[in-house]
Copies of this chain bind each other. A is one copy, B any other.
Amino acid sequence: MSEPVHGKPAKQGVVTIYEIAEHVGVSPAAVSSVLANRHVERRLAPRTVEKIRAAALALGYVPNMAGRRLRAHKAATRQFDLAILTSFEAPLPLVGATLRALQRAVDAESTEDTRYAVSIEMFHAGRLREKPGLLDANRYHGIILTNTLPADDQFLAGATLPYAVVVLGRRIPRHHCVLETPDFVGRRSAEVLLEARCTQPAILYGRMLTQATEDRVGAFGRTVRERLGRDPAMLASEGLLPSQGESALETFFAGGGRCDGIFAVTDGLAVGAYRAIQSSGRRIPEDVAVVGIGDYEIAEFFTPPLSTVAGANDAMVAEAVPLLFRLLRGEKDAPGEVRVTPPVLLRESTRR
């Protein structure tokens, strides 16, 4: 039944150099040399080269990178493939900070015989499980995973990924996690508004919540309830764009909604909130105080400058990256969580 080792037609498989070789009537080595542009040193007949090229094109040849790499592999060099996995829908500053920190570590750890490849890969929020190769042991040596939605977290809680994983911003059982001190951001941002003597606080957030945001929203609500005896206004926008935040707030105002303090859970939403507040003739902070998230350096440059809670990106990354390297080294390290407490920066937007 089985063909000789290297003469397989692979009738329904993918095109390999063997099919091309057979098709043209030359050896696989000849094909290889042409595809690698080494046919000159091999002094192949121009006509043969042409035929091989044509066949590769006609058959739709796609090189198998694993095969090439295995072959090209320099003994005495081990390679770590690392990735940062984030959702398409997420804001990128955290990812940028993570990448820079990871690259710095990699540059420091690289030696003659140890290389690292670092990349950013994205998944559709809530559909992490559909990401190809996630469960395979043949893609990554380690990843930093961030901006997951609850659906992703649920999937992760039941899954065991066959490589080193550090989860950023989220607590997931049996995984290594680095996250904000729970409830801290929601509670402190509520307190900032209450200390500015707000009596009608509101929170502006995107409809799709990462767990970190969900935690912030929940703690904000609880704190307001405790202190004022009633719930804050909940303003859910369609997304995190300034325009979406703006229209959520406009709709609220148009419907007769009142508020004198807003917690905007991303910088984009804060930008939109500023615009909606100011274009409705209200002043910040006199009529409406605003507090936001400090993960973005832009907050200081709002008019007026935005008070922020959080902004623990750097601190989280500073924990996550060394943790990943410890896991790569196989150091015994029980799954668990590292908590980071972010700073609170009071600026004009809550000064009254």
Contact = CB atoms under 8 A, between A and B. Distances in A.
Contact of A274 (B14, B243, B301): B301
Interface stretch (A75-83, A221-229, A308-316, A317-325): A75-83
A63 B137 contact: yes
A256 interface: no
Contacts of A241: 297
Interface string A96-118: 10011001000000000101011
Tell me whether chain A's interface is mostly helix, strand or loop, or mixed.
Answer: mixed
Q: Range of interface residues on chain A?
A: 35 or more
Contact of A138 (B65, B77, B100, B132): B65
Contacts of A275: 301
B65 A330 contact: no
> Among the interface residues A13, A243, A278, A301, which one has the most CB atoms of the partner chain B within 10 A?
A301
A43 interface: no
A2 interface: no
B278 A303 contact: yes
A68 B8 CA distance: 22
Nearest to A56: B330
Given A64-B73, A65-B139, 13 more contacts: A12-B76, A62-B78, A62-B80, A63-B137, A69-B139, A72-B138, A88-B96, A88-B100, A99-B122, A103-B122, A119-B119, A119-B121, A241-B297
